[in-house]
Amino acid sequence: MWTYTQDPSTHQQWDLRFSEITYLPKDNPTSPQRFLYSTKIGFGFKVNGIGESVATKTKDSGESTSVLKFSSDSNLSVIRQGSGYWKYVPEQGGIKFFTGYDYQTRWGIFGQIFDKFIFRPLMVWATAWSFDCLKNWIEKGLHPKQVIKAKLTVVISGIALSLVWIYQGLIPKLLFTDTGEVEILKQSGLFTGNEKSVLTFIGWAEILFGLSILFIHKKFLHIINIFALLLLSATAFFSNAMIFTFPFNPFSLNLSMIAISTIAILNVGCLPKASNSITKQK
């Protein structure tokens, strides 16, 4: 745990708050360790700052605390200066890892408002997510690069599936109901006389499910997706088996969507979660 958090080249790999951390050479071995840090904020811009490890204290019980202070002269940084600590508390079968920090902002009253409602909550989330990422790396061997790829896989899978569900709900069921969807319901014989109302309900349900799978990256949604697609395939087959001979028929579409959900399920278990860390703002 100490190596993963105190070695700058390792620390920068799991902590979302920093893109690069570099130790500065010491004039005296007993001098505090100073370091440079930078954070990429997108579009080629990055925020630079300087930090200093003020003190490290270790108790006989093995509990250790590392204190640091940091500052940034960059006008792009909402943080002007601040301080924080890391605490390592050995326990039976593991280590409790704590952090606490606070800082002064720039940009006047705007900076205070921006920090309170946007920046600070984002920093709390990034800290909690990073801590769980570190935990998965140490305990499960999941390197942060693997985690990022897994996250992208789940996000792309969610986008692809949501677009299909939203399209299927909006276009053939709500906007263009005369394209064959009503006829399929009539052939099923289950909703005689109420086909259009049922079709409208199904359309909205598909849109809502598409939005859910886009924003909620949970395993159970992909399991629901797979079972729903299997059920729809079976219903379509027994209603009109000839539909499976058409181009882009339910078999090819549903099989592809089931494969995408399976890929997402295999990756979603690798994702760190900010909710796995206990956060408390003072």
Which pLDDT belongs to residue 180? 63
Which pLDDT belongs to residue 199? 81
For residue 150, the cross-strand partners are none
Taking residues 251-267, report their average pLDDT: 93
With 0-12 / 13-18 / 19 or more C-beta atoms within 10 angstroms meaning exposed / middle / buried, residue 154 is buried
Of the candidates 273, 254, 171, 255, the one whose C-alpha atom is nearest the C-alpha of residue 216 is: 273
Which pLDDT belongs to residue 113? 96
- State yes or no: pLDDT of 87 exceeds 70: yes
Share of the chain above pLDDT 90, in %: 65
Question: How far apart (Å, rounded) are the C-alpha atoms in residues 221 and 227?
Answer: 10
- State yes or no: pLDDT of 260 exceeds 90: yes
3 state SS of 18: coil
Q: Buried (b) or exposed (e) across 166-192, using 16+ Cβ within 10 A?
A: bebbbebbbeebeeebbebbeebeebe
Taking residues 124-151, report their average pLDDT: 94
Which pLDDT belongs to residue 264? 96
Which pLDDT belongs to residue 179? 62
Which pLDDT belongs to residue 184? 64
Residue 182 vs residue 93, higher pLDDT: 93
- Residue 5: pLDDT band by 50, 70, 90 thresholds? very high
- Residue 133: pLDDT band by 50, 70, 90 thresholds? very high
For residue 33, the cross-strand partners are 53
Query: What single DSSP character describes residue 7?
Result: S
Give the pLDDT confidence of 48-75 residue by residue, as tens digits: 999 998 878 888 888 999 999 999 999 9
- State yes or no: pLDDT of 192 exceeds 90: no
Residue spans of beta strands (DSSP E) within 17-117: 20-23, 33-42, 45-58, 64-71, 79-91, 94-105
Give the pLDDT confidence of 225-245 residue by residue, as tens digits: 999 999 888 877 776 677 777
- State yes or no: pLDDT of 190 exceeds 80: no
Which pLDDT belongs to residue 165? 95
- State yes or no: pLDDT of 186 exceeds 70: no
- State yes or no: pLDDT of 220 exceeds 90: yes
Give the pLDDT confidence of 34-47 residue by residue, as tens digits: 999 999 988 889 99
Q: How far apart are the first and last CA of the chain?
A: 26
Q: Kind and range of the H or E element at 209?
A: helix 195-215
What radius of gyration, in Å, describes the C-alpha atoms of the chain? Answer: 26
